[in-house]
Amino acid sequence: MPASQPRSRARDRNNVLNRAEFLSLNQPLKGNQESRSSSRKQSGQAGAAGAQSTSPKERRQSQQLPEEDCMQLNPSFKGIAFNSLLAIDICMSKRLGVCANRASSWGGARSMINLLGITGHGIPWIAGTLICLVKSSTLAGQEVLMNLLLALLLDIMIVAGLQKLAKRKGPYDINPGLLDYLTMDTYAFPAGHASRVAMLSKFFLNHLVLAIPLRILLVLWALCVGLSRVMIGRHHITDVLSGFVFGYLQFRLVELIWMSSNTCQMLISIW
């Protein structure tokens, strides 16, 4: 027994793994284990605190985000149809804008088309109505002219308000003219010239006795003025069509609030 003990001690001394620098390979230090366990506990506590700090509203929003993305990536049938019609309207309006600038296919006729558009402008019609009202001497004529003046003023205010709400620009980047700024006709939807000529043509057809050729020419004039606004690139096709609709509705509004002869005489005397 005494001889075997020195032999085992010698084997332990000769064993390389028993040296101090290699002890960590056999048994990890307690300090490292404690630090690792403490870091794990801290990370777990931080995750639990973060989970508790998130409110139920934020959790619902995070759960709803994928659904919102799916809704944006899958538009409805109405949205697809509306965007398709809008694209067709823009494409057709650009094709019909043959007088949008001097370099266009019909650029040489731009001045004549602009002149046709001026016949449907509000300023010349208001000025002409005032001149005729001053020179008129009959009660019936003054009544018609006063209601016509009311219709023209309502048309300018209604179209200007609708254009400010829509703020739709035309198919081409064309700056409005001086007369357009005076009547606040600076945007595309709805077309002010189209609403005005539709209202005027319907007004004259109802309150003036005209021969059939003149009635046909009046309707053709309204259509040509509306088409001219598309040809010079100021309005889309839908802008002109909506202008015709609003012009008819304005005429119906004037018919509902039609001023009598006595009211017109009172206003004329004040003026």
- Say if 200 falls within a structural domain: yes
Residue entry with tokens 């088309």? 113
**Cα–Cα dist 33/145, whole Å:** 100
pLDDT in tens, 146-202: 999 999 999 999 999 999 999 998 888 777 777 788 888 888 899 999 999 999 999
Domains in the chain, number: 1
What pLDDT was estimated at residue 32? 47
pLDDT: is 181 or 132 the higher one? Answer: 132
pLDDT in tens, 227-244: 999 999 899 999 999 999
Catalytic residue set: 193, 235
Q: Kindly write down the DSSP assignment for every residue of 195-216, as one continuous string.
A: HHHHHHHHHHHHHS---HHHHH
The number of CA neighbours under 13 Å toward the Cβ of 41 is: 6
- Say if 20 falls within a structural domain: no
User: Is 0.85 topped by the overall pTM?
Assistant: no
- Say if 155 falls within a structural domain: yes
pLDDT: is 41 or 141 the higher one? Answer: 141
- Contact yes or no for 133/145 (Cβ under 8 A): yes
Range of the domain at 206: 107-270
- Contact yes or no for 195/250 (Cβ under 8 A): yes
Average pLDDT along the chain? 79
- Say if 133 falls within a structural domain: yes
- Say if 189 falls within a structural domain: yes
Q: 251: which residues sit within 8 A by CB, 6+ positions away?
A: 151, 198, 199, 202, 203, 206
pLDDT in tens, 6-64: 555 555 555 544 555 445 444 544 444 454 555 455 555 544 444 455 555 555 554 54
Q: How many DSSP H helices and E strands does the chain contain?
A: 13, 0
The helix or strand, by DSSP H or E, that contains position 35, with its residue range, turns out to be helix 30-53
- Contact yes or no for 173/101 (Cβ under 8 A): no
- Say if 266 falls within a structural domain: yes
Closest CA to 94 of 231, 213, 195, 187: 231
How many whole angstroms from its chain centre is CA 161? 15
- Say if 52 falls within a structural domain: no
- Say if 132 falls within a structural domain: yes
